[in-house]
């Protein structure tokens, strides 16, 4: 089972370049999430999509945009990369049923902005 | 005050030891609670959900104390492979689809 798949796994960009991080899940989950993780900061939510067709800002949305392309796919775009966006990015998904909604993660994208 | 607080550790224990982690959360209206484990440079993986009645999964036992707003994780008979960071997580009281993450407790199990 693939679960949550993120591409690419590693990327180096120059300041000002743009790129899109891709995420796809095959678990038929309604909700999808983008996080960044930095040393000493823990996981911080960038954007999330509660269901197909909806997106909402999380804790640190500035400098990012997202697209919920369909139920399976949720992409994160950096329009003009900045060194402060150097981080590990995780995509996650969850099922909407009941109140117990653990999230399942992809294996991350390690992004360096020079 | 952070919404979810954990002792960062590190906890260094010998193989076979029993170790316990506690975590406190600030919003009494949180509904769901989890423990995740994260290995170095890897993604967080769900270890177990935490239920009000307490629950056990093999060597792992989780407890929830709503009155005191804390969650605990007990690991018995520690293995070398248990070395990781353990993340305490609760749902956002205002939006159950969002999770609030602790910074994690680091565990090193030594031979």
End-to-end CA distance of chain B: 37
C-alpha angle A102-B91-A36 in degrees, rounded to nearest 5: 75
Residues of A with CB below 8 A from B99's CB?
101, 103
Question: Across residues B13-18, what is the average pLDDT?
Answer: 98
Residue B2 has pLDDT above 90, yes or no: no
Q: Residues 4 to 33 of B: which have CB under 8 A from any A CB?
A: 31-32
Q: How far off is chain A from B71, nearest CA to CA, in Å? A: 15
In whole angstroms, what is the distance from residue B72 CA to residue A93 CA?
25
Question: Which of A41, A48, A108 is nearest residue B98 as measured by Cβ atoms?
Answer: A48
Residue B57 has pLDDT above 60, yes or no: yes
Q: Give the tens place of pLDDT for each residue, B21-43.
A: 999 999 988 889 999 999 998 99
Q: How far off is chain B from A71, nearest CA to CA, in Å? A: 16
**What one-character-per-residue DSSP string does B3-43 give?**
SEEE----EEEETT--EEEEEEES-TT---EEEEEE-TTS-
CB contact under 8 A, A99 and B32: yes
In whole angstroms, what is the distance from residue B14 CA to residue A73 CA?
44
The tens place of each residue's pLDDT in chain A, 114 residues long, gives 679 999 999 999 999 999 999 999 999 999 999 999 998 888 999 999 988 889 999 999 999 999 998 999 999 999 999 999 999 999 999 986 555 679 999 999 999 999
CB contact under 8 A, B43 and A48: no
CB contact under 8 A, B96 and A105: no
């Amino acid at each position: 089972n693939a679960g949550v798949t993120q591409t690419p796994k590693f990327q180096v960009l120059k300041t000002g370049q743009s790129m899109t991080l891709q995420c796809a899940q095959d678990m038929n989950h309604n909700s999808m999430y983008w996080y960044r993780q930095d040393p000493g900061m823990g996981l911080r939510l960038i954007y999330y999509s509660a269901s197909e067709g909806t997106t909402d800002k999380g804790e640190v949305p500035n400098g990012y945009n997202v697209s919920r392309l369909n139920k399976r796919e949720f992409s994160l775009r950096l329009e003009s990369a900045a060194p402060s966006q150097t981080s590990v990015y995780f995509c996650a998904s969850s099922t909407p049923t009941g109140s117990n909604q653990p999230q399942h993660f992809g294996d991350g994208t390690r992004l360096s902005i020079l | 005050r952070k919404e979810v607080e954990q002792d960062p550790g590190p906890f260094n224990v010998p193989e076979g030891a029993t170790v316990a982690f506690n975590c406190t959360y600030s919003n009494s209206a949180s509904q769901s609670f989890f423990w995740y484990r994260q290995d170095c440079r890897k993604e967080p993986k769900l270890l177990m959900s935490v239920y009000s009645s307490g629950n056990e999964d093999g060597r792992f036992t989780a407890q929830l104390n709503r009155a005191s707003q804390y969650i605990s994780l007990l690991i018995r008979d520690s293995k070398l492979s248990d070395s990781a960071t353990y993340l305490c997580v609760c749902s956002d009281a205002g939006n159950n689809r969002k999770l609030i993450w602790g910074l994690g407790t680091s565990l090193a199990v030594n031979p």
